[in-house]
Amino acid sequence: MTIEALLPLLLLLPLGGFLVTAFIGRRFGKSAHWIPVLAILVVWIIAMVAVANVLTGAAPLLPGSEDTHGYVAGPWAWIPAGDLHIDFGLVVDPLTACLLIVVTTIGLLVHVYSIGYMSHDPGYWRFFAYLNLFMFSMLLLVLADNWLVVFVAWELVGLSSYLLIGFWYRKRSAQLAAKKAFIVNRVGDLGFVLGIAAIVVNTAAAGHPTLNVRESIELLLAQGEANPIPLVVVALLVFAGAMGKSAQFPLHVWLPDAMEGPTPVSALIHAATMVNAGVYLIARANPLFASTPSAMVVVAAIGIFTAILAASIAMTQTDIKRVLAYSTLSQLGYMFAALGVGAFTAAIFHLMTHGFFKGLLFLGSGSVIHAVHEEQDMRRMGGLSRKIPITYATMFVGSIAIAGIPPFAGFFSKDEILGEAFKASFYWVWGVGLFVALLTAFYMFRLMGLTFWGSFRGPAAIWDKIHESPRVMTVPLILLAIPSALLGLAIGLPLGSSVLHGWLEPVFHHATELLALPHESYELFGVDGALILASVTVAVAGLVAAWRLFGVDLGRFRAPARPEDVRELSARPGLSFLYRASLNKWWFDDLNHLLFIVIGGRIAAAMWWFDREVVDGTVNAIGRQTVVAGRGLGRVQTGHVQNYALGIALGLIVIAGSYLILTGGPR
Amino acid sequence: MLARLVPILLGLIVMGAVLGIAALMLLALGQDWEDALLWILAAVMLGSGLLVVTMRDIIRCGLAMIVCFLALAGIYTLMGVPLLGAAQVIVYIGAISVLILFAIMLTQTKDAPSRLVFQTQAGVAAIAAVVFAVLIALAVTATDWGAAAKRVGISTNAMSKVLFRDFVFPFEIVSVLLLAAVIGGVFLAKREPGGPS
Amino acid sequence: MSDSLDTYLILSGILFAIGSFGFLARRNAISMLMSIELMLNAVNLAIVAFGVFGAGPDASAQGAVFALMVMAVAAAEATVGLAIVIAIYRNKKTPLVDEYDAMRQ
């Protein structure tokens, strides 16, 4: 039983789980989770074996490459249609392996968590069916070696996201959020499809049209300037797709609304897996981007702008899940900024660590919401640390990780991003990123302060009923807290040329060559050390500011919350505008509403008027004319014979007369 | 009063003009008497024809028609086909006109003369008729018939030979046709048993 | 004048025109039938004229015989036509054709 033969199982098991649960899951009732969870468990085992082999070099070399180890399955003929022949196969190279770690582990833990979280929901079986569908789509996305299959998986992932966001479909806000997510994704997908088309055009110009990812990128780079569609355009189109899926500005508006879905969905899709698809896409196409520095700058700019935009909004949100959603946006911005400055490994590193600690934070928030009986507003929480200790402890670990405090995972990945940005001379990215790190620490510990410390501000009846979540929910939390704490130490060391760097080097070396980045050795007591000091200082500063304003309670070290200071700060003249802007999400939703709903609605109404009055009017008028003409002509039929006879006589005169005139009379 | 006089006036004017020309031709210009006779007969025919189509009283129309047929018989005789002239008198005046007068009497309504004589399309019809006549006149005069001068005439002998030798089949068929017409006429005009009187 | 074919043909044409005017313009059905008789007579005159002035030994006789046939047919037609008018009169109580509108939609 070779690993290659087991690779298709990675796709078939979740698909099978989805189909079985979708069709007969309702009958299982409370046991509907067994098949999906077992399917994902087997997937996790196979994936971990494959990943281990690939990353340690035990796997065979990939065809067409001298240094990359991996597994290949297929190719299978997909569309054999005459001249158009599309094959696809599955590839597990080190990049896919890193993604697989995140996707399968967090997927499995979310499945287990959902057993507890969704236990009271009547749509229990539906939830697991959709989760399996999502796992199938995501795995297809990272395993595929063909652009078109990636696109199909892209769309499937979007579909699963729609189904899961709108899981409680009777709630109007959930319906709207699901539609919003799908539609905004679609805008990005348009760019992606155009990008794929551009790739086909370019490869066809080279004489060998292909949709295989590796081959097409090689061809595009080989052609260089001779590409009919410039590589910058192709890169930006592909980035447009990534923007939609990974919620970068201006397509970021769907992610906060997507919190309407159940919390496991937010954890899985909107923190750990789907939103990483955009990052994966750009990492996969890294040679293409590396050969177009202008596109890279765009990527970096949009990424870091999203980071600071989202972080600024997260500072004032009152819904616990919204804070985490904006935090996700911000961290995704970091990842794109990393990609944009050429730090591909750093971006993937942050993707992995972020997946774990954001997944942890979301699941933890789910546990909190469950504990306070479906209350999501942080203003009505507080003092929960005593009541739900396991949740509190794991979320504390997650917060420290995301704040970037060593030695937890977030510090390593975030610092690597900022360091690479600085050393690649993208000082503005470094500066903004540093500020965002400060904001990140601030809003995360604001969340902790409002939720877990201080005194409870909700209804007293709830306080007595608060209890810790069942083990099926807390065990995944603990299991996620471990990598949040230790992943950095595991693969981020030694600093400067980490283990992860070694794994991913074969995938990114072409890009690094193209970018001609300076290869200086790591100076812990030089530039790099100074950078580390800067980011740690900034993180601690944010943390301290949050503790000052929102309180802290760590056993002997405690300080009270100061809501009056918060109010006074937010009312100060310069800051009050920022406060209001942040609270209103910088009015982007209102802008979109104005542009598309109001103005678009007017244009649509005008079009409808045009269609109704002009187009239909013309058609109807022609019909009416026919009827009127018929009626008019019908008046010839008087029923009187003499009228008809007169007609005959006149006709005869006309014929005879014209004959006489035309032939000039008989002769 | 005036409306009743108009058609009679029309007919009289036509006849008077033609008669005048005939008299002129005969007496003053010393033309052939055949031509003058033809003028007179033509005048009578056309004049009474006009009266037929324009007079208000339908019985008077029938009588004018009889006069027209008579004039036409005269023209036939003048052309040298006396048998046909005789046939014209016997058939048209003796049979058809009488039939028409009978039909008029059977279908007369009590308040006949006080209503419209003409349809609304009478004006157009008049113009059409005039144009028609002009067209025929133009066509006829423009054609070179290449005809010989008039023959003296046809003897009854010659005609009967042609009729009973060359045209015997159509002759028999016509008699069948007449039989059919008689039967058809009787059947169509028959009163329904127990129907309206 | 009486030696030329044109005269008789023009005469026939004018009589035909008069007959057609009567047919198109009169309201009474019997008047229409009388106009038809006039038209038939006009045609008869034309046929005889062609016969008399035609070339060939039997031409004139043939023309006259044809005219005789026309006369017989005209008689038959007048019979049937008047019978129809009488029958319609019995139903509609009026001899005026513009009140016969059963063919109208």
Range in A330-334, A347-351, C94-98 the model is least confident about = C94-98
Closest residue in B to A664 (Cα) is: B142
From the list C20, C28, C93, which residue is nearest B129 (CB)?
A: C20
Alpha helices in chain B (DSSP H): 2-23, 33-54, 58-79, 82-87, 98-106, 122-142, 156-161, 168-189
User: Is C89 part of the contact surface with chain A (CB cutoff 8 Å)?
Assistant: no
Q: How far is C94 from chain B (nearest CA, A)?
A: 7
Find the helix packing angle between A471-491 and A389-403, rounded to 10°. Answer: 30
C contact test, residue of B98, B150, B169 with most C CBs within 10 A: B150
Q: What is the mean pLDDT of residues A585-614?
A: 86
pLDDT-derived band at A130 (thresholds 50, 70, 90) equals very high
> A666 contacts in B (CB within 8 Å)?
139, 142-143
Write down the pLDDT at residue B106: 85
Element (H, E) at A76: strand A71-81
HSE of A183 in the Cβ direction (CA atoms, 13 Å)? 10
Nearest to A640 by CA among B30, C101, C1, B4: C101
**Could you tell me how many residues make up chain B?**
197
Asked if residue A260 lies in contact with residue A175, where contact means CB atoms within 8 angstroms, the answer is no
Burial class (CB in 10 A: 0-12, 13-18, 19+), C78: buried
**pLDDT value at A355 more than 60:** yes
Which of chain C's residues have a Cβ under 8 Å away from the Cβ of B153? 60
Nearest to C20 among A634, A637, A649 (CB): A649
| Mean pLDDT lowest among A543-557, B49-63, B90-104, B166-180 | A543-557
Angle at A128 between CA A126 and CA A130, to 5 degrees: 70
Residue A607 to residue A320: CA distance in whole angstroms: 43
Q: Which candidate in A633, A640, A644, A648 is best for mutational testing of the C interface (most C CBs within 10 A)?
A: A640
Least confident of A518-527, A599-608, C41-50: A518-527
A&B contacts, CB < 8 Å: 35
pLDDT value at residue B112: 55
Coil, helix or strand at residue C54? coil
Detail the DSSP E strand segments found in A480-589.
552-554, 557-559
Phi, psi dihedral angles at A144 (to 5 degrees): -70, 150
Q: Taking 60 as the threshold, does the pLDDT of residue A341 lie above it?
A: yes
**Which range, of A165-179, A627-641, C26-40, averages the lowest pLDDT?**
A627-641
- Measured distance CA(A488)–CA(A405) in Å, rounded: 11
Nearest to A653 among B135, B138, B139 (CB): B135
Kindly report the three-state secondary structure assignment for every residue of A222-240. HHHHHCCCCHHHHHHHHHH
CB spacing of A642 vs B119 below 8 angstroms:
yes
Q: Which helix (H) or strand (E) holds C72?
A: helix C59-92
Burial class (CB in 10 A: 0-12, 13-18, 19+), B195: exposed
Which of the residue ranges A571-580, A597-606, C69-78 has the most confident prediction, judged by mean pLDDT? Answer: C69-78
Report which DSSP code applies to A273.
Answer: S
- Maximum Cα interatomic distance, chain A, rounded to a whole number of Å: 135
Cα A335 to Cα A299: distance, rounded to the nearest angstrom: 10
Q: pLDDT-based confidence at B113, cuts 50/70/90?
A: low
Q: What is the pLDDT of residue C100?
A: 73
Give the model confidence (pLDDT) of C4-15 as tens digits: 888 899 999 999
| pLDDT at res. B194 | 59
For residue C2, the chain B residues in CB contact (below 8 A) are 32, 34-35, 37-38, 78-79, 150
In this predicted structure, the answer to whether residue A593 has a pLDDT above a threshold of 70 is yes
User: What's the pLDDT at B114?
Assistant: 54
- Of A377-391, B10-24, C59-73, the one with minimum mean pLDDT is B10-24
Query: How many Å apart are CA A603 and CA A272, to the nearest integer?
Result: 39
- Give me the pLDDT at residue A253, please: 87
Average pLDDT over residues A375-401: 85
Rounded distance, CA B174 to CA B180, Å? 10
Q: What is the pLDDT of residue B181?
A: 94
State the CB neighbour count (10 A cutoff) for residue C36: 18
Report the pLDDT value the prediction gives residue B95, as an integer from 0 to 100: 93
Q: Which of residues 5-44 of C touch B (CB under 8 A)?
A: 5-11, 13-22, 24-31, 33-35, 37-38, 41, 44
Provide the mean pLDDT of chain A. Answer: 85
Q: Which residue has the higher pLDDT, A135 or A494?
A: A135
C64 touches chain B (CB under 8 A): yes
Q: Judge whether residue A39 has pLDDT over 80.
A: yes
What is the rounded CA–CA span in Å between residue A184 and residue A176? Answer: 12
Whether residues A640 and C101 touch (CB distance < 8 A) is answered with yes
Model confidence at B174, in pLDDT bands (50, 70, 90)? very high
pLDDT of residue A520: 65
The answer to whether the CB of A409 falls within 8 A of the CB of A327 is no
Q: Any idea which residue has 């209503």 for tokens?
A: B115
Model pLDDT, residue B153: 67
CB A229 within 8 A of CB A198: yes
pLDDT in tens, B26-67: 776 666 777 788 888 998 999 999 999 988 888 889 999 999
Classify each residue of A279-301 as buried b or exposed e, where b means 16 or more C-beta atoms within 10 Å of its C-beta: bbbbbbbbbbbbbbeebbebbbb
pLDDT of residue B70: 95
Task: Quote ipTM for the complex.
Answer: 0.90
Q: Look up residue A396 and give its two tokens.
A: 């504390």
Residue A397 in contact with residue A408, Cβ under 8 Å?
yes
Encode pLDDT of B124-159 as tens digits. Answer: 899 999 999 999 998 888 877 776 666 656 778 888
Strand runs labelled E in C46-97: none
User: What is the bridge-based pairing of β-strands A552-554 and A557-559?
Assistant: antiparallel
Chain B residues 47-76 with a CB less than 8 Å from chain C: 49-50, 52-53, 58, 61-62, 65, 68-69, 72, 75-76
Polymer length in residues for chain A: 667
CB contact B141 to C (< 8 Å):
yes
Please indicate whether residue A154 or residue A204 has the higher confidence score (pLDDT).
A154
Q: Which residue has the higher pLDDT, B53 or A565?
A: B53
Provide DSSP, C6-26.
HHHHHHHHHHHHHHHHHHHHB
Its pTM stands at 0.70
CA distances from B179 to A70, B89, C77, C81 (A): 113, 21, 12, 15
C18-22 long-range Cβ contacts below 8 angstroms, 24+ apart: C18/B46, C18/B49, C18/B50, C18/B52, C18/B53, C18/B129, C19/B49, C19/B53, C20/A649, C20/B125, C20/B128, C20/B129, C20/B132, C21/B53, C21/B125, C21/B126, C21/B128, C21/B129, C22/B52, C22/B53
Q: How far is B147 from chain C (nearest CA, A)?
A: 6
Hey, are the CB atoms on B100 and C78 less than 8 Å from each other?
yes
Interchain CB contact of B106 with C (< 8 Å): yes
Residue C27's φ and ψ, nearest 5 degrees, are -90, -30
**Quick one: pLDDT band at residue B74, thresholds 50, 70, 90?**
very high
Which residue in C has a C-alpha nearest to residue B22's C-alpha? C1
What is the rounded distance in angstroms from the CA atom of residue A249 to the CA atom of residue A184?
11
Instruction: Quickly state the pLDDT bin for A52 (edges 50, 70, 90).
Output: confident
**Which uninterrupted H or E stretch holds A92?**
strand A84-92
**How much of chain A is helix, strand and coil, in % rounded to 5?**
75, 5, 20
Range from A355-364, A428-437, A476-485, A572-581 carrying the lowest mean pLDDT: A572-581
pLDDT in the model for residue A571:
74
Give the position of tokens 């892209």: A154
pLDDT, tens digit, for every residue of A501-539? 778 877 887 777 777 766 666 666 677 778 888 888 888
The residues that bridge with A73 in the sheet, in sequence order, are A90
| DSSP character string of A439-450 | HHHHHHHHHHHH
Give the residue-averaged pLDDT of A302-328.
Answer: 90
Distance CA(A187)–CA(A169), nearest Å, equals 23
